[in-house]
Each structure stands twice: as C-alpha cells, then as structure tokens.
Amino acid sequence: MPDYRINVHTADVDGAGTDANVYITVFGSNGSSDEIQLDSGRDDFERNSVDTFTHTLRDLGDLYRIRIRHDNSGSRPGWFLDRITIRDEDSDKECAFPCARWLAVDEDDRRIDRNLDLA
C-alpha cells in the first residue's frame, strides 16, 4: 500500500488560517479513500503556510479529484485554501489540486467544502 504525502497550502490572505478540523477524501481511477482528518497535533492551517501529512492508503490509481472540507469549529473557522498537492511516494507522481477560494460560511459562496479537480 503506497504512502501519499499531502501538502496543504494556506494562502497569504488576511484571516486565511483556520482553527476548524479539516478533512480530505481522495479520488482515483481505482476508487476513493475514506474521509481522513488532517491533523498533525500542531497548529495547522495558518496563514501563508504549508502543512504536510503522510497517510498509507490502498492504491488509488491515477488521482483526479479531492474533496476538502472543515467542520466550521473553533473561534476562527474560515479558511482560504490556496491549493493541495499529493505525492504518491511509491511512484513519485505528484498531483496538484488548485483552489484559491474561501471555505467559510461568511465569505465567498458560504461553502465549507470543495471538490477540487486535478490541474
């Protein structure tokens, strides 16, 4: 089973960071992952930061979409996500999923979940 390294890029925008719990589902040609909570135990998803998470998943094949969301918890849940990159550590194949939007109930289209397609 391959390791997938997930790099989450929070934008350099005023108020971009989030205190909410963040979750991802990864979709590939061989199926999808379960929903995974992204949490390192540190203060993740701060403004102008890159947070890295490694998860061992079944072989998902060629990645084509992710679903990213948060639970709107914490004192500052709004989040401006720049992009996510995922690297299959076995094949060294890296995929980019651009976002450049808010996930916030009081910004943009007021959604806290996004489906992001492969760039």
Pick left, alpha or beta for residue 71 (phi over 0 → left; psi -120 to 50 → alpha; otherwise beta).
Answer: alpha
pLDDT tens-digit series, residues 34-61: 999 999 988 999 999 999 999 999 999 9
**Residue spans per domain, the chain:** 3-117
pLDDT greater than 90 at residue 14: yes
**Measured distance CA(27)–CA(88) in Å, rounded:** 13
Burial class (CB in 10 A: 0-12, 13-18, 19+), 4: buried
Which pLDDT score is estimated for 41?
A: 87
Question: Could you tell me the pTM of the whole model?
Answer: 0.95
* CATH number of the structural domain 3-117: 2.60.60.20
pLDDT tens-digit series, residues 62-94: 999 999 999 999 999 999 999 999 999 999 999
Which pLDDT score is estimated for 97?
A: 98
**Measured distance CA(31)–CA(63) in Å, rounded:** 9
**Cβ-based neighbour number of residue 22 at 10 Å:** 22
